[in-house]
Homo-oligomer: A and B are copies of this chain.
Amino acid sequence: LGVTVVDVAKEAGVSAMTVSRALNKPDSVPAATVARVKDAASRLGYVRNLMAAGLRANRSNLVAALVPTLSGPVFLDTLEALTRGLAGRGYHLIVGQTGYGGDGTASFLADLISRRPDGVVLIGTALTDSDRSLLRSSKIPAVELWDLAAEPVDMLIGFSHEAVGAAVADFLVQLGRRRLAFIGANDARSLRRWQSFRHRALEAGLVEPVAHLVSAPALLGDGRRALVELCAASGPFDGAFCSSDMLASGVLMEAGARGMKVPSDVAVVGFGDLNFAADLRPSLTSVRIDGPRIGELAAHALVMRMQGKSIENRVIDVGFEIVSRASTHGGSAPATA
């Protein structure tokens, strides 16, 4: 793998420059020469060194992605679509995990920036001030995902968690529910949904909603325990917003176990519309976010900017959709078969 253009050049009986041209823009070189060069290259097992090319071109064809963690299913679809979209255009993705522990982010970003990425993707990440200024001054195209932050560093593709909270509250109110509960993880985005959910409920004249928060990751078992505790500690409630489908799944399960009818006793709304939501019993009403689309849009916007083109909108709200299923509209289907 120490084979360089010079080696290939010797093998093919041409100069290094001709090798470079034959491989990168074959049109500028006679077909016969191209063939000779390509042959020599494959014979020697030549693989172009992108570090050197990048250094020369001041362009790495690298995109840095900063995520809280790779585990946890939330951002996966987005990350997958993003990686795919970038790979298709000749970019590679380099990932950094910040962990959920607030600070330390600075070093992660600086770390990644030392690779001279042509673009940066920030998923579900709260930026420190020093990071913001680093990004700003570095002039690297950046896109924040999954969160309609107040003041994006550069580009932004996401949706409003506040709008979600309010919409779900409205949704439950319109179903005639009057005593709401929130079950969610205590991460920043979930809490913003909760605040907004609560606020809208109060606006609608409902009693103060009850909340049960668990620490991330929110598991199915947390949902079960949450229902147990809410039933024991609070007054009755007839509508619950769970900030993840896993939690909601646990709530449905526990409700079944205690003979609570869903949705007649309590309507349940999840978040994420994960691939099992429609197949639960009862099927789960959930807030659907188009994760892959966020990834695709991000790839597109980033590529545009990395090619020097400008884009129409720096901020794109992909919105969300409440997919109504039996856990809120199950007039006919009882909670347990």
Residues of A within 8 A of B (CB): 1, 45, 47-52, 54-55, 60, 62, 69-73, 76-77, 79-80, 83-84, 87, 92-97, 110-116, 134, 137-140, 217, 219-221, 224, 246, 249-250, 253, 256-258, 275-276, 278-281, 336-337
Contacts and interface: CB of A to CB of B under 8 A. Distances in A.
A305 to B, nearest CB: 15
A121 to B, nearest CB: 13
Contact of A92 (B70, B84, B115, B221): B115
B250 A279 contact: yes
A250 B278 CA distance: 12
A116 B49 contact: yes
Contact of A97 (B54, B84, B217): B84
Contact of A279 (B77, B79, B221): B221
A202 B267 CA distance: 48
B221 A278 contact: yes
Given A116-B49, A276-B220, A87 B79 contact: no
Nearest to A59: B51
Nearest to A259: B337
Given A55-B55, A70-B80, 13 more contacts: A1-B140, A45-B138, A51-B51, A51-B55, A62-B94, A71-B80, A76-B76, A94-B95, A220-B276, A220-B279, A221-B276, A250-B279, A256-B281
Contact of A220 (B138, B280, B336): B280
Contact of A219 (B49, B249, B275): B275
A36 to B, nearest CB: 20
Contacts of A250: 276, 279
B50 A52 contact: no
27 contacts: A47-B110, A47-B114, A49-B114, A50-B116, A51-B51, A62-B94, A70-B80, A70-B83, A71-B80, A72-B76, A73-B73, A84-B97, A87-B96, A92-B111, A92-B115, A93-B94, A94-B94, A217-B275, A219-B275, A220-B279, A224-B279, A246-B276, A256-B281, A256-B336, A256-B337, A258-B337, A336-B336
Contacts of A80: 69-71, 97
A110 B50 CA distance: 11
Contacts of A221: 276, 278-279
B92 A93 contact: no
Nearest to A109: B47
Given A80-B71, A219-B276, A276-B219, A1 B139 contact: yes
A52 B53 CA distance: 10
Contacts of A116: 1, 49-51
Contacts of A49: 55, 114, 116
A33 B79 CA distance: 44
B45 A137 contact: yes
Contacts of A279: 219-221, 224, 250, 253
A62 B115 CA distance: 10
A48 B276 contact: no
B134 A45 contact: yes
Most buried by B among A137, A249, A279: A279
